[in-house]
Amino acid sequence: MEKFEDYGKSFLEYLQIEKNASPYTVKFYLQDLESFFSFISREGVNSFDAVDYQMVRIYLTMLYEQKLSRRSVSRKISSLRSFFRFLEREQKVESNPFVNVTLPKASQPVPEFLYKEELKQLFSVSDISTPTGQRNQAILELMYATGIRVSECIGLSIEDIDFYLGTILVTGKGRKERYIPFGRFAETALQQYINHGRLVLSEHTDKHTSKLFLNHRGAPITAKGIAYILEKLVEQAALTINIHPHKLRHTFATHMLNEGADLRAVQELLGHEHLSTTQIYTHVTKDHLRNIYMNSHPRSGKQKK
């Protein structure tokens, strides 16, 4: 059988250069491929061209027996479909055995979000007299103000912020750039952090970086670092909630739609390629609108106090 190394490098270049895939996407694609290669090796398959639809069905059965989520199975199918499409293009196989495989329909749970009262408590706990407190406040304000992903947040540099226009330049998935506005609260927090807290943190190392958010050692902060900061803020606020960076993104989208923002505008702000991805937040806003209707319409049938 052809070795993974024979095709891994060229497929990796294909993902990075032609598909503009993120490092996270590349990482998971390669994991999925390695898992499949192990499977076909155990099955005694000697070449990629020998992989047929029946072999794919056996592989899918194995995945379900491992009790993987539908989302994980869908991702693996997508990864392998892309790989065999690449092999087709390179004329290494005659057909793609994954082309007719149906992706399992994934359930779409309603995204969790923070209520305004919870946010108010979170915004009040950082000690903004300290460098790390100023940084934490700036992270919290900016992520809620813009709905950016944590990967986009840690990628920000100082020059990506335009205080005159009140926007940030974000590099999202597929290296696509977009401008996102931010408001007065985020501006105040960012100005204080950049002019004071960040200067102090940057003195803890002799390595220069233009990255916006720094850890206590003066190095660029990581995604895990931001997750840890948010968990500590929740503890300080004495809130009984689970929080993760993406929850602030969910909160941004939900609050924007609840206040009447256009769905396509929110799609653009979030950097979603497809409108259907943004539409998951309408499940929340529909409940919100129903409550408004039931509490406001004279003929809703709900007895008013």
Q: Which residues are catalytic?
A: 149, 173, 246, 249, 272, 281
pLDDT tens string 132-175: 999 999 999 999 999 999 999 999 999 999 999 999 999 988 88
Residue given tokens 């898992």 in the structure block: 35
Which CATH number covers residue 69?
Answer: 1.10.150
Q: What is the maximum span of the chain, computed from C-alpha positions, in angstroms? A: 75
User: Is residue 127 in some structural domain?
Assistant: yes
Mark whether 50 and 163 lie in a shared domain: no
Residue with the bigger pLDDT between 291 and 264: it is 264
pLDDT tens string 13-39: 888 888 788 787 888 888 898 888 888
Question: For 276-287, what is the mean pLDDT?
Answer: 76
Mark whether 132 and 269 lie in a shared domain: yes
Count of the separate structural domains present in the chain: 2
- Helix/strand/coil (H/E/C) assignment for every residue in the chain: CCCHHHHHHHHHHHHHHHCCCCHHHHHHHHHHHHHHHHHHHHCCCCCHHHCCHHHHHHHHHHHHHCCCCHHHHHHHHHHHHHHHHHHHHCCCCCCCCCCCCCCCCCCCCCCCCCCHHHHHHHCCCCCCCCHHHHHHHHHHHHHHHHCCCHHHHHCCEHHHEECCCCEEEEECHHHCEEEEECCHHHHHHHHHHHHHHHHHHHCCCCCCCCECCECCCCCECCHHHHHHHHHHHHHHCCCCCCCCHHHHHHHHHHHHHHCCCCHHHHHHHHCCCCHHHHHHHHHHHHHHHHHHHHHHCCCCCCCCC
Identity of the residue numbered 241:
I
State the pLDDT confidence band at 265, using cuts at 50, 70 and 90.
Answer: very high
Name the residue among 163, 151, 167 with its Cα closest to residue 191: 163
User: Is residue 95 in some structural domain?
Assistant: no
Of 190-194, 230-234, 271-275, 297-301, which gets the smallest average pLDDT?
297-301
Mark whether 221 and 132 lie in a shared domain: yes
Mark whether 217 and 121 lie in a shared domain: yes
Mark whether 60 and 163 lie in a shared domain: no
Mark whether 169 and 58 lie in a shared domain: no
Question: For 177-203, what is the mean pLDDT?
Answer: 97
Mark whether 123 and 216 lie in a shared domain: yes
pLDDT tens string 208-261: 999 999 999 999 999 999 999 999 999 999 888 888 888 999 999 999 988 889
Mark whether 181 and 249 lie in a shared domain: yes
Mark whether 163 and 211 lie in a shared domain: yes
Which pLDDT value is given to residue 271?
92
The structure's pTM equals: 0.65
Domain extent, residue 152, equals 116-293
Which pLDDT value is given to residue 67?
84
Token representation of residue 203: 């003195």
> What angle, 0 to 180 degrees and rounded to 10, lies between the N-to-C axes of helices 53-65 and 70-89?
150
User: Is residue 100 in some structural domain?
Assistant: no
User: Is residue 103 in some structural domain?
Assistant: no
User: Is residue 97 in some structural domain?
Assistant: no
Residue with the bigger pLDDT between 305 and 282: it is 282
Which pLDDT value is given to residue 124?
94
Identity of the residue numbered 222:
T
What is the rounded average pLDDT for all residues in the chain? Answer: 87
Which residues face 179 on adjacent strands?
Answer: 169
pLDDT above 80 (res 43):
yes
Mark whether 74 and 168 lie in a shared domain: no
User: Is residue 301 in some structural domain?
Assistant: no
